[in-house]
Amino acid sequence: MNLWQNKNFVRFFSGQIIAFLGLALFTTSLPFLILYLDGNASHISGVQSAFILPQIFILLFGGVLVDRLPKKLVVIAIDILRATCLLIIAILIFTSNIKIWHVFVLTFTLGLLNTIYRPTLKAFLPAIIQKEYLIKANSFRSMAREISEMIGPVIAAFLVGAIGIFVTFGITGISFILAAILYSFIFIEKRTNVEKQTSIFKEFIEGFKVLLIHKWLGLSILIASFVNIGIASFDVIILPLYAEYYFDGIESFGLLLSSMAVGAFLGALFISRKTHIENRMLKYYLFMCGMGLCLLLLAIVHTLFLAMFLMVLIGFSITSFVILWDSTVQELIEEKYLGRVTSLQMFGGLLFLPVGYYIFGFIIDYAGVQTSLITSALFILISALSGIFIQHINKIHI
C-alpha cells in the first residue's frame, strides 16, 4: 500500500502540519511576550532553561512510561494539556493579567510534557506504517516542519502587529486541539500477545541493556551528545552574534535562519526520494562532517550571500542526518523499547548543553565570534570522524 493511501499516516501527517505551524507561531512570539512584559535577555535565557531542566531530570524514566502507556492516548492527552496551557496564557494576555512568572510556568510545563510527548511521537510512527516507508514518512514530516518554520515567523509578525500577541498563543492552542482530533481517528490494532509488565526499575535497566546489546546505538548516542554541543551552541549563541558582528543584526539573522530552513527542506525532499539507503550510518556521520566543514568556512566568510549559501548546506546536512538516525532507530529497535531509547537519546542531547553554552559563551567573550565558530566546527568534525572510525558503528548493515 502506498504511503498516502494509508489513512492513519494521512491523519497523523495532517495533525503534524497543523501542530508545526502552531509551534512556529509560538516560538516566534515567545521572546516578544517577554519583552512586552519588560523582560530582558536574562529572562529569555531563563525561559529556555525552564523548558530544558524538567526534561534533563525526567527523561531517563520518562521513556519507561512511554513504552508502558498507550501511545495514541498519550499523544492526544498531551496535545489537549498543551492547548489548555496556551489558551490560558492567551486569555491572561488579552485581559492584561499576564505576569512574567506565568511565562516561566508555561515553558516549564511545556518542557515537562515534552519529556513524554517527543519519545511517544517517535515510537508512535512505526505502529501506523510499514518499516519500508519510515524514511519517506520521517522526510515528509521534516519537510512539513521546515515549511512551517519558513512561513510561521512571517504570519506571527503580521498577527502580533495587526491584532495582538494573544492571538498567536490562542492559535497555537487551537492547533494542538485540531491535531488531537485528527489523531483520535487513527486506528491501531490491539496486540494479541501483550507481555506481562515488570517493575519500572527493571524496565529502566532494560533500556540501558538495549544500548549495550546494540553497541552502535549506545556509541552513536554518546557521539551525538557531543556533536549537539557544537550544533546547539552555534544555533542559540553563536549565530545571532555572528549576524550582529559581521552584518546588520536581526535582519541578517532572519535571512540566515530562513536559508537554513530552505536547506533543511531540500534535505528532507532529497531523503524522501529514497526507499532504502545503503551504508546509512556512514552517511549519517558524513553529513555531520559536512556541517562541520560549512561552519569552518562560515568563520572566514564575511559576505552575506555566501553565508546564506553555507546556511543552506548546514540546514541540508542537519535534516539529512536527523532523518537517517530516526529511521534507523525505528527500523532496528523493537517497538516496545523505542520510548526508552528515544528518551535516552534526548537525555544525552540535553545533558551537556548547559556546560556547552557556558563554554562557548566564555569563548565568545574572551576570544571572539570567529574563534567560537572554529571551535564549534572542530568539535563537530572530531566527534563525527570518531564515529566513522569506530568499528562497531561501521558494521551496521542497513
Q: Rounded to whole angstroms, what are the CA distances from 24 to 18, 232, 238, 269?
A: 10, 18, 21, 20
**What CA–CA distance (Å, rounded) separates 375 from 381?**
10
**pLDDT digit string, tens, across residues 209-268:** 888 788 788 888 888 888 888 888 787 677 877 887 888 765 677 678 788 888 988 998
Q: What is the C-alpha separation between 263 and 308, in angstroms, rounded?
A: 10
CA distance 12 to 6: 10
239-246 and 250-272 helices, crossing angle to 10° = 130
**The pLDDT value given to residue 35:** 76
Cell of 337: 523499547
The span from the CA of 353 to the CA of 91, in Å, is 33
Q: Is 276 helix (H, G, I), strand (E, B) or coil?
A: coil
The DSSP code for 189 is P
Q: How sure is the predictor about 202, in pLDDT bands with cuts at 50, 70 and 90? A: confident
- The residue-averaged pLDDT of 296-300 equals 93
The region of weakest confidence among 59-63, 64-68, 171-175, 218-222 is 59-63
In terms of Cα–Cα distance, which of 341, 330, 336 is closest to 196? 336
Predicted TM-score of the model (pTM): 0.74
Burial degree of 241 (CB within 10 A; 0-12, 13-18, 19+) = middle
Q: How far apart are CA 70 and CA 78, in angstroms?
A: 12
DSSP structure class, residue 131: G
14 or 34, higher pLDDT = 14
Instruction: Name residue 310's amino acid.
Output: L
Name the DSSP class of 37.
T
**C-alpha cell of residue 118:** 517527543
**Tens digits of residue pLDDT in 78-119:** 999 999 999 999 999 999 999 999 999 998 999 889 888 888
Banded model confidence at residue 197, pLDDT cuts 50, 70, 90:
low
CA pair distance 363, 250, nearest whole angstrom: 22
CA–CA dist 329, 350 (Å, integer): 19
